[in-house]
């Protein structure tokens, strides 16, 4: 009996040991899955997907309606895309303005939009109102959450065609957990800005590669979200519970992780960026270090951008998130929103994330964007 046990051990133990060695090599080798899982990219990802899907359906219906109506690109303007929080749900609210040559055109577009929205089912509701300013306003809700405002303007002059190229800046956030995708964005032939998380497994390698290739670097500074602690912003984060010295110490450590960073934008932070006292501490330190601040606008109540401007700190704010929905059609739609905002306001800032889908769409649009717009690092759009 003892001999049988010894034989069993001698046969199986080498296989067991080999398996352990294989697993160790696989999981801890630099080219494979990092030991630390990446944090949630944006707070909107932490919200239930059913609302996001309904919003996507509305977006598609509106786009199809505008296409069927023959609306001209120059007459469609995305006025605002801002984050909303309600009852634990997070979504982007969109406001679109469409210039129509007359009342009849506006009415026709209203009918087309109504047909498109009605086909989406009872979870999508809408109502129209007429204003004294020759406008028909469509308010759209999904599952009871207000998601879109579409303003049809008629009997008004069309916007003049500009004789200069508008500027577009694209930031890629949340870099640090995937070396290969980061290198692909670095070598993309567009002057994008790279926002890198502190304390991530590949932060050092990505910073080094970006610096050698002349890419603009930003610290992607983690901050406390509303859903904390169920949603965690990751290592290096600033929390509302921190005292001034703790905030400054953590900020200093995070900036040391991204040598050469020209500025900072917030990762998450829907709670932290609403707190004036804490944001003053951060922004004063950035001004002291001659850095700029880009408000990612993860909450409509953020005080970051306005505070920075009042303090004389160079600042800008995000116009559009490009890839909260990874369907290629959805990313294209968001990119078109970004370009529309740039056409009508002179400049716009888009934020994307290290997804292969985002990379492929940027490659697809590459030549067209460069032909029509000045694509610039975000540092050129801070004021």
Q: Any bridge partners for residue 78, and if so which?
A: 96
Which residues neighbour 168 within 8 Å (Cβ) at sequence distance 6 or greater? 338, 339, 342, 347, 348, 349, 350, 369, 373, 374, 375, 376
Same fold, 45-154 and 167-380: no
Give the tokens for residue 78. Answer: 């995305």
Residue ranges of domains in the chain: 45-154, 167-380
CB 149 within 8 A of CB 140: yes
pLDDT tens, N- to C-terminus, the chain (383 residues): 444 444 344 344 444 444 444 444 434 444 444 456 677 777 766 656 789 899 999 999 999 999 889 888 889 999 888 999 888 888 999 999 999 988 899 999 999 999 999 999 999 999 999 888 889 999 999 999 999 999 999 875 555 555 578 999 999 999 999 999 999 999 999 999 999 999 999 999 999 999 999 999 999 999 999 989 999 999 999 999 999 999 999 999 999 999 999 999 999 999 999 999 999 999 999 999 999 999 999 999 999 999 999 999 999 999 999 998 999 999 999 999 999 999 999 999 999 999 999 999 999 999 999 999 999 999 999 99
Six token digits for residue 197? 């998380």
Q: Which long-range contacts (CB under 8 A, 24 or more apart) does 95-98 make?
A: 95/148, 95/149, 95/150, 95/151, 96/62, 96/148, 96/149, 96/150, 96/151, 97/151, 97/153, 98/66, 98/71, 98/150, 98/151, 98/152, 98/153
End-to-end alpha carbon distance in the chain: 82
What's the rounded Cα separation, in Å, for the pair 199 and 210? Answer: 17
Burial class of residue 209 in the structure, from the number of CB atoms within 10 Å of its CB (0-12 exposed, 13-18 middle, 19+ buried): middle
CATH architecture entry for 45-154: 2-Layer Sandwich (3.30)
| pTM, two decimal places | 0.84
The domain made up of 167-380 is a member of CATH 3.20.20.370:
yes
| Structure-token pair, residue 240 | 């509302």
């Amino acid at each position: 009996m003892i001999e049988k046990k010894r034989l069993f051990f001698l046969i199986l133990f080498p296989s067991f040991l080999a398996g352990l060695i294989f697993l160790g090599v696989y999981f801890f080798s630099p080219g494979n899955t990092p030991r630390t899982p990446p944090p949630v990219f944006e707070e909107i990802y932490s919200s239930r997907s059913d609302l996001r899907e309904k919003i996507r359906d509305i977006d598609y219906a509106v786009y199809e309606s505008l296409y069927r109506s023959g609306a001209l690109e120059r007459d469609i303007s995305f006025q605002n895309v801002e984050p909303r929080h309600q009852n634990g749900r997070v979504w982007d609210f969109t406001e679109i303005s469409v210039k129509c040559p007359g009342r009849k055109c506006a009415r026709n577009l209203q009918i087309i939009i109504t047909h498109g929205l009605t086909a989406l089912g009872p979870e999508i509701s809408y109502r129209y109102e007429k204003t004294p300013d020759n406008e028909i306003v469509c308010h759209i809700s999904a599952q009871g959450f207000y998601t879109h405002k579409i303003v049809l303007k008629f009997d008004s002059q069309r916007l003049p065609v500009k004789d200069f190229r508008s500027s577009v800046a694209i930031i890629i956030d949340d870099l640090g957990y995937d070396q290969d995708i980061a290198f692909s964005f670095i070598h993309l032939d567009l002057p994008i800005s790279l926002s890198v998380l502190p304390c991530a497994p590949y932060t050092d390698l990505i910073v080094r590669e970006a610096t050698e290739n002349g890419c603009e670097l930003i610290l992607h500074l983690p901050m406390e979200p509303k859903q904390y602690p169920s949603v965690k912003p990751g290592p290096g984060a600033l929390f509302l519970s921190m005292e001034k010295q703790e905030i400054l110490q953590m900020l200093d450590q995070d900036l040391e992780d991204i040598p050469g960073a020209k500025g900072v934008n917030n990762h998450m932070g829907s709670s932290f960026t609403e707190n004036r006292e804490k944001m003053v501490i951060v922004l004063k330190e950035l001004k002291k270090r001659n850095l700029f601040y880009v408000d990612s606008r993860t909450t409509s109540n953020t005080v970051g951008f306005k505070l920075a401007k009042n303090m004389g700190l160079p600042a800008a704010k995000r116009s559009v998130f490009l890839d909260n929905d990874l369907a290629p059609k959805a990313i294209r739609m968001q990119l078109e929103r970004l370009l529309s905002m740039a056409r009508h306001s002179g400049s716009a800032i888009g934020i994307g994330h290290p997804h292969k889908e985002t990379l492929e769409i940027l490659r697809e649009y590459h030549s067209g964007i460069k032909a029509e717009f000045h694509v610039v690092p975000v540092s050129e759009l801070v004021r």
